[in-house]
Amino acid sequence: MVEFTQFPPHMLRREIDFLKYMFREKQLMYVSGDIAYAVGDMYVAMTGWRSHVVPGAGTVQIIASVYLLKELGYCVMDMGSVMDYKIRIGATLVSRNEFITHFREG
């Protein structure tokens, strides 16, 4: 059983806020997490981590994040640099100009 935890709702405002959320397994050991900030309707991941103890925890965390962010009204999740696993789970590459345009409009 994996439990999803997040900061209290007052931390999830639609302005620049640092968000941190993690998954915990039964032993309450942190197995995956992300530190990011939000600008407008864009969520920008600064760093993420996963434990080697629970295979797939990082992937589950990213997918759950997408659903949570969509529910909160975010339109874009900037996942940082291109990596094969990000493409495999559905990330879309955008040009630098497209990213900057959305960032400014966000």
Expressed in angstroms, the distance from the first to the final Cα of the chain is: 36
Q: Which amino acid is at 82?
A: V
User: What's the pLDDT tens digit per position in 1-43?
Assistant: 333 344 445 444 443 333 344 445 556 677 888 888 888 888 9
pTM of the model: 0.66
* Structural domain spans, the chain: 3-105
Fold held by 3-105: Aminopeptidase (3.40.630)
- Is the predicted pLDDT of residue 73 greater than 60, yes or no? yes
- Is the predicted pLDDT of residue 57 greater than 70, yes or no? yes
Q: Which residue has the tokens 């941190």?
A: 20
